[in-house]
Each structure stands twice: as C-alpha cells, then as structure tokens.
Amino acid sequence: MYRFLLLFFSFSVCFSASANNIRVSNVALSNQNPTEKTTTINFNISWDNSWRLSVGQQNWDAAWVFVKYQPSGSQQWYHAKLKPSGHTAPTGSTVDAPADGMGAFIYRAGPGSGTFSLTDVGLKWDYAASGLTDGALVTVKVFAIEMVYVPQGAFYAGDFGTSRGAFKKGSGDTRPWDITSEAAISVTNTASNGYYYTATSYTTLANGATFSVPASFPKGFQAFYCMKYEISEEQWVDFFNTLTTPQKITRSIKTTGAVANRNTVSWTAGGGDATTQAPNRACSFLSWMDGAAYADWAGLRPMTELEFEKAARGNMDAVGGEYAWGNGDYITNVTAVANDGTPAEGSNTEGANANYGNTGLLGPVRVGMFATATSDREKAGASYWGIMDLSGNVWERVVSVGFTAVHPFDGRHGDGELSGDGNATVANWPGALGAINEVTAATGAGFRGGSWFTPAAELRTSDRFWATYNYNIRRHDFGFRAVRTAP
C-alpha cells in the first residue's frame, strides 16, 4: 500500500486504495471554503478491465470511493461525509454521490472498455458535518472499491427445482419465482402459480411455509451496485488497520500469523498494522460479523439472497442447475496456479473457471483470476453482469428469505462507523448491534455460491442448501462481498 503526506490548508493527506487492480494517486486538498465549511479532495484514479455497455442492458463497472480522516492526536479514524453535489468529474466520467454523503460512485460517462484513467477527480467534503473546524489538522485516507452496476429490472429466482431448496412456484410447480417489482411477496402453500417456499438444511421454515416478504426487503428488482470481487486480503487489511486496538481484537480473523489454507493475513495482538503476503487473494476466515463490520465501515450493506440470484443470472431465463456463468454443464476446477500470491496469479489448469471441491489448492485464489484477455463469460467464471467468483472460491454471505426474523431488513446502508468493540451498528442488520456470541449474531444470515471447500452442486446459482444455516464462526472458506442500492 502506497502512502504519502501532504500539508495543505492545515490538513495532512495520505492514500489507500482497496481493490483488485484499482489505483489512486496524487491526492491533495484544495478550495477550502470557510463559509460553506467544505474542501475538495482531489486525486487521480484508474483501474483495468473497465466497461460501459451502450446496447442492450445498460451496465457498467464503477469505483466506490470514500474517505476516512484521523484528527491530529487521535488514534481513531472517522468517516468523511461528502456533499451530495458540487463534485468535479473529469471529461468522460460521471461522479454520482448518494444523498447520505458516505462516498461516491465514479464511472464512465459513455460506452467503452479497457483501462479507465481519470486525472484530478474532485470530491467535495463537508468537513463541518464531520465535526471539524477550519483549522483542524487531520490525516486523510482515500479508499476505492470496484463495483458493478446491476440495473433495475425483472428476473427469475430458482432453476426449475434442479438445485436443492430452489425457489419455485408451487409444491408441484418447479417454475422459478418471477420477481417483477419490489412489492411485497406473499409466499403461500399452493400447488402451482404462486410463490412457494422449499425447506433447506438447518431451516426455520418448513416446506410450504406461509409468510410475507415486505416491500422494504431488497428483492433485486431495484438497481444496485455489487462488489465486483469478494473482499480481498488487501481490502481486509486496509479496513483492519483503521480500527482501534479494542476493535482490532474483536475483528482479528486468525489467532496466528502463520499461513492457513492460503490465508496470509497476519496481526499480532497489541501490535501495529496487519499485513498480507497475497493482497489480491480472496480473504477467508470472515465471520458474518466480520463482513457486516466491513460493509458498515465502507458505507455499503449486506446483500439478500434474491439479489444474489439477480447478480448472477441477470434478466436471462433460468437454466436448470446453472452456475453464475449461465451454464450447468461447463465447470472445471483449478488445481494449480502460476505466479502464486502475486497480482499476476493465474490458473495453471487447462480450462479451469472455478475454485471448488477441496481437491486442488486447499484455499482461495486471487479474486477474478479466471478472467483473461481471451476468456468468454463461461471461461472467466463471470456472472451475467461481469461480477466475478459468485460461484466458488469463498462463500457469499446473504440475508436469507428463510428467516422471518430478518424480513424487516430494509437495505439501509452503513454509516461508516463501528461500535467501540468493532461491530456494525446499523439497525435491523443481522447481528448489527452485537450479540452474546457470534453464532446467535448470524441469525438471518445464510450462505450462497459455494467455495473452494465444497462440491460443485453448492456453486449453483439457485442452490439454497445452506441458505438458512445459522453459522457464524470463522472458517477457511468463509468470505464476504457487499452491495449498495443505486442512488
């Protein structure tokens, strides 16, 4: 991680980019306005494999950029609140800032693909809203996460009963749920033509259970942004290193600095910063509470299992037993890699497009590793929208439809701040306010998409066998990725 210090208007500035290949440089503060209590955070940003489609579904990737600051003499980092407007978007780009000021999406203004580079982006910081005065001396960090825009639209959830626990229309009707709006869903015990619930392993709801999924529960119809990749080790370390010592103790994911199932994150209790030897590798050993804390800190939120299926399948017809790349027949496990642990880590197995089965590497690989200059969607292991590794590598954690206790989940976003002991604090997130133990904290949070440790069946887009598993320990194949409702 590259850092530098620059004194400007009584502010110090440093940089931190958190993503697979995203780069931020030349960070500076300018145009301090003592009247409106704002200053502009300027920087350059670029990332590879960017795109925006001009035909068909309007879809693009974006950088979610947010800022943390540390007052002089303090050990704590705080979230900088941005203005909803007044930002500087260089030619060819769009800066879209949500009203809550938690950050901004930066993306192409028009169609294109390849490396996307911008010079002198400007985000207007409302430093008074952050509780700072004109002469405050602070250190600033700029973070960026690659995201993918999933546009509003109808989709199918389920795969004609091929996968275990898949959503279907009735006890005798295996057609998938059709999600055509964000309106409430009435789940009934009918033979056909409805919304029928199929029980899963460790479920709280039986076959044919009747309940209502409220309109406020995110169903995937409304547009949202999804992290392009699972949280990487670099992203986890960057997050972890902004925490206070008590928060770090809670969020320390390993009890030893030794490499465990390819996880290289290391931190000594009571010591300084955490480190990683494989920054672009998917981060494992993340409990639900770990992932929720990261999402809250970044101004994002957990995704629901309906959003998971939309993120994978898109608006295409459901295919029986399909994986995230839209085919139920094509899947090849990676058993060897080249350039292990480096940003160039790649598959050394002919035709491999997924990491699963506990027969090869015995741990996660670099996020997005299977996408190359010549790969198509199937060979890249990519979803319809270009989201990577939704099938395999590490488990995805989702808010499950199969827990009535979390049906009030309404998709509100993180506020950038954690509790003193390092927990997410967003009302109605599973476990957001902490719990007596990590297991009960996970109530309502399930697993989708499989991992390097699981059989191929669990990688299927509609497989819900573990969708209601109330399990929140840290394990070698548990990861996380967050989403945010589009502005």
Of 220 and 444, which is predicted with more confidence? Answer: 220
84-100 pLDDT tens trace: 999 999 999 999 999 99
What integer pLDDT is reported at residue 14 of this predicted model? 47
Q: Is 126 helix (H, G, I), strand (E, B) or coil?
A: strand
Q: Is 27 helix (H, G, I), strand (E, B) or coil?
A: strand
Asked if the model's pLDDT at residue 234 lies above 80, the reply is yes
CA dihedral 287, 288, 289, 290 (to 10 degrees): 50
- Structure tokens given for 250: 């809670």
Asked if the model's pLDDT at residue 319 lies above 90, the reply is yes
Per-residue pLDDT band for 1 (boundaries 50, 70, 90) equals very low
Average the pLDDT over each of 153-157, 352-356, 423-427, 454-458 and give the range with the smallest value: 423-427
What integer pLDDT is reported at residue 405 of this predicted model? 86
Q: What is the pTM of this model?
A: 0.95
What integer pLDDT is reported at residue 269 of this predicted model? 83
Asked if the model's pLDDT at residue 6 lies above 90, the reply is no
Per-residue pLDDT band for 3 (boundaries 50, 70, 90) equals very low
For every residue of 418-450, which 3-state class applies, written as one string?
A: CCCCCCCCCCCCCCCCCCCCHHHHCCCEEEECC
Of 336 and 203, which is predicted with more confidence? Answer: 336
Contact 295, 414 (CB under 8 A): yes
139-165 pLDDT tens trace: 999 999 999 999 999 999 999 999 999
Task: Measure Cα distances from 41 to 46, 69, 86, 126 in Å.
Answer: 16, 12, 12, 11
Of 436 and 333, which is predicted with more confidence? Answer: 333
The DSSP string of 54-123 is -SSS--BEEEEEEEEEEETT-S--EEPPBPSS--B--TTEEEE--TT-S-EEEEESSSEEEEEEEEEEEE
* Conformational region of residue 252, where left means phi above 0, alpha means psi within -120 to 50, and beta covers everything else: beta
Q: Is the dihedral of CA 322, 470, 225, 176 positive or negative?
A: positive
Q: Which residues of 61-99 are buried (b: 16+ CB within 10 A; e: fewer)?
A: bbbbbbbbbbbeeeeebbbbbbbbebbbbbeebbbbbbe
What integer pLDDT is reported at residue 9 of this predicted model? 39
Residue among 189, 24, 30, 241 nearest 124 (CA)? 30
Per-residue pLDDT band for 435 (boundaries 50, 70, 90) equals very low
Question: What average pLDDT is seen over the chain?
Answer: 92
Mean pLDDT of 7-34: 69
Contact 13, 139 (CB under 8 A): yes
What integer pLDDT is reported at residue 11 of this predicted model? 44
Q: Give every CB contact of residue 124 below 8 A, 6+ residues apart in sequence.
A: 38, 39, 40, 41, 82, 83, 85, 86, 87
Task: Measure Cα distances from 256 to 259, 266, 267, 283, 311 in Å.
Answer: 8, 7, 8, 15, 35
Contact 15, 4 (CB under 8 A): yes
Q: Is 350 helix (H, G, I), strand (E, B) or coil?
A: coil
Asked if the model's pLDDT at residue 203 lies above 80, the reply is no
What integer pLDDT is reported at residue 229 of this predicted model? 98
What integer pLDDT is reported at residue 270 of this predicted model? 75
Per-residue pLDDT band for 457 (boundaries 50, 70, 90) equals very high
What integer pLDDT is reported at residue 20 of this predicted model? 63
What integer pLDDT is reported at residue 202 of this predicted model? 77
What integer pLDDT is reported at residue 436 of this predicted model? 37
Asked if the model's pLDDT at residue 18 lies above 70, the reply is no
Query: Could you identify the residue written with the tokens 């902490």?
Result: 434
Contact 460, 321 (CB under 8 A): yes
Domains and CATH numbers, the chain: 7-149 (no CATH), 232-487 (3.90.1580)
CA angle 266, 268, 271 (to 5 degrees): 125
